[in-house]
Amino acid sequence: MPLALYALAVGAFGIGVTEFVIMGLLLDVGHDFGVSVARAGLLITGYALGVVVGAPLLTVATARWPRKRALLLLMLIFTIGNLACALAPTYSLLMLARIVTAFAHGTFFGVGSVVATSLVRADQRASAVALMFTGLTIANILGVPFGTWLGQHDGWRATFWAVSAIGLVALAVIAALVPSNAAAPDAGDWRADLRVLARGPVALGLLTTVLGFGGTFLLFTYIAPLLTQISGYSDRAVSPILLVFGGGLVIGNLVGGKLADRHLVATLLGSLAALAVTLALMGLAVHHRGAMLIFVGLLGATAFATVPPLQLWVLEQADGAGQSLASSFNIAAFNLGNAFGAWLGGAVIEHGGGLVALPWVAALLPLAGLGVAVLSLRLASKRRDIVAANSVVG
């Protein structure tokens, strides 16, 4: 794999840390600003919504730029946003800084996916996307635990100073390793690019992403109380168990990429089915500590095995036109799924059977995503037939 992919992975690592590390620092932030944990938790929601809004806006704004210049601007926004987080004197300004930082998230992964696929052979594209996303998965294993420890010992601001330093490193390696001619800018009008999103296979692909990751985060958002209150683990056991989840993320991401390179459609459907089965079986395992440990790892593996095929499927259905915008929208769809899943999980806990019901409800979402994916495949097949018939007539 080209060294440029590892440079993209460094940027993905920094983005992964800043997105998820706040979960371990909510008590510290709340105490510092005198706000409740629930209000501090809105920093997570604000970030996710910032990704959803920022992805299309920045992608359109940079669509005609050379890809390398766009990536460097995005990492600069990311770095400045984290510096603003470290210096924020009030809760409101911290929220604003988090949203600014999130604006770079979706477009970085969207443009980065296009760049990654342009640097390798056609039969390596999903693996290239998976390698870039490995930075995100490693962030969950190493970066987030270290960032949480640093914030708890030296203050939460120290964590954001450290993430800002990662942003500077990412800027340097992207400038040094990503080719200046990597992936041509989008041609044509951005309005035409938006029309690509209205294609049935593309729109349904985005919905599949929302449903798949909605199921994952419906459960994962509440994994700590599920492990301690239902499975019987101690509070101190949660962090090591989350390392098992992180290990599953890395393995699933890389395996999903390899399989998608060989059989994209089969991997897309198979990974969604595997995620639904894993979540359903967790409903049977929640009262057994040993089984639950295994299924936490399997959840990480099956959840991130869906990422490369979902991202590549949307890229392929965009069919050259507006690929960056479609790719960025798919990253926004991941985050929309995260926000939707967390909200639905809270509703299930309060009104739908409590913590033990989470795995069963969560399994329904990727199962629905599987049905949407099948419909998307059928529409894509019909579109290919129409294009082929028109070319024959022409």
Comparing CA positions, the residue from 305, 357, 386 lying closest to residue 127 is 305
For residue 324, give Cα distances in angstroms to 74, 111, 186.
14, 5, 7
All structural domains of the chain, each given as residue ranges with its CATH number in brackets, are 1-185 (1.20.1250.20), 188-394 (1.20.1250.20)
Please return the burial class of 141, using the count of CB atoms within 10 Å of its CB with bins 0-12, 13-18 and 19+. buried
Two tokens, residue 336: 């929309």
> Would you place residue 72 in the very low, low, confident or very high pLDDT band (cuts 50, 70, 90)?
very high
Residue 384 scores a pLDDT above 80: no
DSSP H helices, 34-183, are 37-40, 42-61, 67-87, 91-118, 125-138, 144-154, 156-177
Task: Give residue-wise pLDDT tens across range 215-254.
Answer: 988 888 787 788 888 888 887 787 788 788 888 888 888 8
Residue 16 scores a pLDDT above 60: yes
Average the pLDDT over 118-122 and give the result: 83
Calculate the CA dihedral of residues 372, 299, 145, 151 and round it to 10 degrees: 50
> Would you place residue 168 in the very low, low, confident or very high pLDDT band (cuts 50, 70, 90)?
very high
What lies within 8 Å, CB to CB, of 26 at 6+ separation is 37, 40, 41, 43
Inter-residue contact 81 to 98 (CB < 8 Å)? yes
Task: Give residue-wise pLDDT tens across range 257-300.
Answer: 888 888 888 998 999 999 999 999 999 999 998 999 999 999 98
For residue 72, give Cα distances in angstroms to 62, 124, 169, 193, 279.
11, 25, 11, 23, 38
Inter-residue contact 27 to 17 (CB < 8 Å)? no
Comparing CA positions, the residue from 380, 383, 344 lying closest to residue 362 is 344
Supply the pLDDT for residue 189.
62
